[in-house]
Chain A
Amino acid sequence: MNQLMYLAGGLLLAWAAVFGYLWSLARRARSLQRQLEALSNQIDKGDPGAAGESPANGTG
């Protein structure tokens, strides 16, 4: 493998890490959004059981 391949590989790995992390943040934000909507429905209906599954942990 020549030097340019290693350079390209390094850049690719770095960008994959950044975009992978951004994807993970977006996924967690979507999940949180769904939980907030469920909570909002629960409050509107006055039905404590309507919020669905309770998040066991934080966003991580």
Chain B
Amino acid sequence: MSRSPQPASESRGTGLAPPPSLLALTVVATLATLYAALLVAPADRIQGDVQRLFYIHVPAALTMYVAYILVFLASLVYLLRRQARWDEVGAAAAEVGTLFASIVLLTGPMWARPIWGTWWTWDARLTSTFILWLIFVAYLMLRATGGHPEQVARYCAVLGIIGFLDLPIIHYSVQWWRTLHPEPVLMTRGGLGGGLPSSMLAVLALGLLASLLLFASLFLLRLRLERVDRRAMALRRLLDERPGSIP
């Protein structure tokens, strides 16, 4: 096979497949979380068994924070340096972050219905989280619609930064406004985990570990896909520009 024309920047391997050990650890931690959440953690005295959704809902929310902070940092660096790899990081983190945001918005109503008596209420915490989800859905739609790659990357970086500005609003909304959503039990004024008994805190920590491992695995898979896709497009452009090619 003849050697294909390749730009120097495209000749490196992606080297980003999640290592098998990470995938194995993710599966083990996820199964352990399910077991601990359903069978080990004590049932809440007031809320009963439905409170066990806490071990999925809260880690998903914290992982969403991590993902969107990563989008913010990648967007900022992209705007400063204009290197495509930071745009790739932002794209991958935004997509996986939106998965976790969706999990938060799906599990929340299932927990709220039996406890609050309603699936949804437009209070500050829920509304600001929904707005964040909409911002990043717009971000993903912007990428999907295509256009000049550098222009799309620039617009997405700006949108990623705007989305990040919603994170502190979400976090402090329960303190700034009167909401139905409870105040944080993990990051409290009394210290980290101060609002939880140790038996629940341990399961929550396991859930957070599983959620972060799942994020890392999905993020690396998505980033690899993004890089291979861009490499294929670059190669196609080069082939199309070759003398004698059909436009």
Contact = CB atoms under 8 A, between A and B. Distances in A.
Interface of A: 1, 3-4, 6-7, 9-11, 13-14, 17-18, 21-22, 25, 28-29, 32, 35-36, 39-40, 42-44, 46, 48-49, 51, 54-60
Interface string B86-104: 0000010001100100110
Contacts of A46: 2
Given A56-B146, A57-B143, A60-B144, A6 B50 contact: yes
Contacts of A35: 232, 236
User: Which 3 pairs, one residue from A and one from B, show the smallest C-beta to C-beta distance?
Assistant: A10-B110, A48-B245, A57-B146
Interface stretch (B120-128, B161-169, B189-197, B217-225): B217-225
Interface string B133-148: 0000000100111100
B48 interface: yes
B49 A3 contact: yes
B107 A14 contact: yes
Contacts of B48: 3
B229 A32 contact: yes
B224 to A, nearest CB: 9
Given A17-B103, A60-B140, A7 B230 contact: no
Contacts of B236: 35, 39, 51, 54-55
Contact of A44 (B1, B96, B144, B232): B1
A43 B218 contact: no
Interface in B203-234: 214, 218, 221-222, 225-226, 228-230, 232-233
